[in-house]
Every structure is written in structure tokens, then in C-alpha cells.
Amino acid sequence: MTTTSAKLLKLALPLIRTHGFTRDALSLSVLSLPTPLAHPLPDASVTALFGPGDDARRTLVHAWLDDAKRRMKEEAAENMGIGDVLKARLRSNEPVLEHLPEAFALLASSSPLPLPLLPVDPTPIIKHAAQVSNQACWIVHSDARESSWYTRRASISAIYLAAELHQLTSPKTAPAFLDSLLENAEQAGKALDETTLFANYVWKSWRGIVKSSGVLV
């Protein structure tokens, strides 16, 4: 990615709240330069800098996710528990919450395979949850190396994604829902089994969101 693209992506992030994960947000980013351009970027320039069609929008989604991950680390306080870190990550969704279903639908429809063969690809969504889990676990236990912690991290990944899904439909109760999942996981002591359970639940729910978003016909 060029320096210009990276700079404009950063300027586009605050515009997501009002314009969503759209090519318009990328186009309008030049109006926020220290020396603003007189007009938004033409569509051809958006394509040249960020990719054609929905690829440009996916570029913006990935930039936002990377920025949220960066803020997780920078804003973490000492002695935060895993629940505190994950709830802070959920709070970072709040300004753009209404746009997240479409954002994740875009990611889930980015498979290189023909759509009739694989209309919804879970890989980017699973990767997103894994990255959040990795970052959260590193913040809480940066020196952990035990194999049990890696299993726990896999469980946290599925739990976080379930909580994020819950947030889309019931934002106010998402923190309590996250706490309940973490508490149940700890009491059960069967992280791997819970990962499978949560993953199945999450994927079925995300699939429904993707289909209802309008991104896929």
C-alpha cells in the first residue's frame, strides 16, 4: 500500500460513522487533508488507490479492524482482566455499530471461489475473532506459553465473536452477555468443546446476517 493510500485510509476512518464502509467515505477523505482538495476523489482514483468495486470497501473494513486492534493495545490499563479487555473492544464498535453487519458481510463474501460454490466464506470473520482474542490474551498474559492457554485463547475467540454478534442485535446487554459466556466457560472447564459449540452458533448467526444484509443476493 502506498503512503498516500495509507494516509487517506486513516482520514477515512472517522467518516465511517456517517458514511459507512463505503467508497464515498474513501472519496471524501481528501477533504480532511491538512491542505484539503477542492473536491472529493473521483471514482477512478478511489479504484486506483484502494481497489475496484467492493474491494475498496473491504480495504476500509480491514483498516478499521487494524485500527481497533491497535487501540486495544494502546488503551489497555494495568491489571485488566480478559473480560475488561474484550468489553473495551466491544465499545470500540459502538460508533459504527449500525454499519458492522454490512462490513462483515463484505468480508464474508470476499472468497476467490465462484459465489455459487461458496456464497459465504467464514474465514475472514474467524480470523478477525482470532486476532481480537490473540491481542486480548497478550494484553492480559503476555508471558503465557502453556498449551492450556492456547486452548483457552481459542475458546475466547469464539466467545468474543458470539458477544459481538449479540451486540449487533442488543447493544446494551452485550457486556453482560460476554460476562455470562466467560463465566460459563470457566465453570465448565471444557474450553475446546465450548469453542465448537460457540463457533457453530456464531457461524449460523453470521450467515443469516450476511444473507439479510443485501450484499449477497
Render pLDDT for 25-54 as a digit per residue (tens, 0 to 9): 999 999 999 999 999 999 999 999 999 999
Both 88 and 48 in one domain: the answer is: no
Tell me if 10 is assigned to some domain.
yes
6-26 pLDDT per residue, tens = 999 999 999 999 999 999 999
Both 47 and 148 in one domain: the answer is: no
Both 107 and 173 in one domain: the answer is: yes
- Choosing from 38, 53, 68, the residue where a domain stops is 53
Both 16 and 104 in one domain: the answer is: no
Both 204 and 167 in one domain: the answer is: yes
Domain count, the chain: 2
pLDDT tens by residue, the chain, 217 residues: 788 899 999 999 999 999 999 999 999 999 999 999 999 999 999 999 999 999 999 999 999 999 999 999 888 888 889 999 999 999 999 999 999 988 888 888 765 554 444 556 778 888 999 999 999 988 887 665 555 566 677 788 888 988 898 898 889 999 999 998 888 765 444 434 544 555 555 556 566 655 565 544 4
Domain that holds residue 12: 1-53
Tell me if 169 is assigned to some domain.
yes
Whether residue 160 contacts residue 84, with contact meaning beta carbons closer than 8 Å, is answered with no
Tell me if 15 is assigned to some domain.
yes
Both 6 and 87 in one domain: the answer is: no
Tell me if 71 is assigned to some domain.
no
Alpha helices, DSSP H only, in the chain? Answer: 3-12, 16-19, 23-28, 43-50, 53-75, 82-91, 100-108, 123-140, 147-169, 174-188, 191-212
